[in-house]
Amino acid sequence: MKLFFAAILSLLLVACSGSDDASPAASPSAANEATAKATVIASQTPSATAIVSSTPSTTATASNGSSNGGASNGNTATRTDLSSLSGVVDKIRPATVQVTNQTNVPFGRTGTSLDVPQGTGTGFIYDNQGHVLTNAHVVEGGTTLLVTLANGEAQEAKLVGSDARTDIAVLQISGSSLPIAALSDSSKLKVGDWTVAIGHALGLPGGPTVTAGVLSAVGRHVQEPSETNGGGPYLFDMLQTDAPINPGNSGGPLVNINGEVIGMNTLVAAQAEPGVPAQGIGFAIPLSRAKPIADLLVKEGKVAHASLGVSFTPVNPAIAMQLGAKQGTKGAAVAQVTSSSAAAKAGLRSRDIITKVDGTDVKDESDLPRLIDQKKPGEKVTLTVLRNGTEQSVEATLDQAT
């Protein structure tokens, strides 16, 4: 079985200090003017090509609703706690599972077919109903999904729901007394906290692999790789860790020193630029974002995302000059407006520069999709727009993304 890598591309890393609950809604074009780029790959194991990872505006504190919930976040740990990580591993390993994505293929000339593995990833059981949290790119395209527990027991899982725009999926397995991962509040994390990643790296036999590091940064915004030209959807407010993450780790838990889940391992940066490897830069979806999405998938089977319906590029001095804007102007230069979209109905045009959404400045490449994604379909937003150097307000009623 091959290792499941997604397409590789350069993408913008935007450091932010806040924890806005958002995800992509607009469809930004690739930004040649990006000042900080890295090549990012999916941390998952392939044989069919996978696309790696907006959400509702509500933010929820992670809680698994089971008897082991309410654990502290363990931010007071000191280096002496790392004399051994065996206690951390013992706590999280039973709830960590391998997810095998299987596809149905013809078997010889018999007219029959078999389910054949096309890739593997990781997941973790997070409640007493047997729900398993993993990445959407782990389960994409699978005819059947096989979940293997730490004790070697395997069973076919039900796909409860998958949301490619946030790269989150929920499976469900059956069984009594299933091990459940303890969940922590990722919003209380501090840079420098110890982190431990666990997952089925490279699909190696013998159970999950454990790596350790620190929380390197919070509030990272990254754009996922895509097989097609341009990038995939944006993932917002990601946790950055230097705990090694490898193909096969996708969907696995990132935990604190107490063995409590703080995020879901998703991406790694492979190159700072062509020929210059990046080291120790991995990304995890924080639990404070993943859990509300998982709850919606369990409740409704899908997540509704707002959409404006534009493609854009961030404004730099050269673009500002060509569009008749003052030097130093920040914003999103509209490249294309989708017909019949919210933007089209509001009268937005190509070459408009969106500088604010409901009064909030659009400064960086990810700001426009992040701000739009905080909204709900059908909600009205006021856009501040520069057109031929003249500022005006445009009101748009957001669509539901398809």
From the candidates 250, 307, 341, 366, give the one annotated as an active-site residue.
Answer: 250
Q: What are the structure tokens assigned to 14, written together?
A: 């935007």
Which pLDDT value is given to residue 43?
A: 58
CA dist 371 and 366 (Å) reads 9
The verdict on whether 185 is a catalytic residue reads: no
pLDDT at 56: 34
120 close to 45: Cβ distance less than 8 angstroms: yes
Active-site entry in 127, 163, 167, 399: 167
> Does the fold of domain 306-400 match that of domain 9-300?
no
pLDDT band at 36 (very low <50, low <70, confident <90, very high): very low
Class of domain 306-400: mainly beta
User: pLDDT per residue over 357-401, tens digit each?
Assistant: 999 999 887 889 889 988 999 999 999 999 998 999 999 999 998
Q: What is the pLDDT of residue 1?
A: 46
Q: Do 85 and 211 contact (CB within 8 A), yes or no?
A: no
What pLDDT, on the 0 to 100 scale, is given for residue 229? 59
Nearest-5° Cα angle at 214, 131 to 64: 20
How far are the Cα atoms of 234, 292, 367, 373 from residue 396, in angstroms, in the given order?
Answer: 22, 27, 17, 14
Counting Cα atoms < 13 Å in the Cβ hemisphere of 371 gives 21
Nearest to 12 by CA among 337, 399, 29, 200: 29
Kindly report, residue by residue over 297-319, the tens digit of the pLDDT: 999 999 999 999 998 999 999 99
- Helix (H) or strand (E) segment spanning residue 291: helix 287-300
pLDDT per position as a tens digit, 61-80: 333 333 333 333 444 443 43
- Domain ranges, ordered by start, for the chain: 9-300, 306-400
CA 77 vs CA 72, 182, 259, 283: distances in Å: 11, 17, 12, 22
Mean pLDDT across the chain: 79
* pLDDT tens-place string over residues 214-255: 999 998 888 887 766 566 778 988 999 999 998 899 999 999
Q: If you count DSSP H runs as helices and E runs as strands, how many of each does the chain have, helices first?
A: 6, 24
Which of residues 295 and 109 earns the better pLDDT score?
Answer: 295
Burial class (CB in 10 A: 0-12, 13-18, 19+), 270: middle
Annotation says 364 is catalytic: no
Confirm whether 57 is a catalytic residue.
Answer: no
Element containing residue 297 per DSSP (H, E): helix 287-300
pLDDT at 318: 92
**Percent over 70 (pLDDT), the chain:** 77
Q: Which of 29, 53, 137, 373 is catalytic?
A: 137
Amino acid code (one letter) for 176: S
- Which pLDDT does position 107 carry in this prediction? 73
- Which top CATH class is 9-300? mainly beta
Over range 196-205, report the average pLDDT: 88
Q: Is the CB of residue 381 less than 8 Å from the CB of residue 354?
A: no
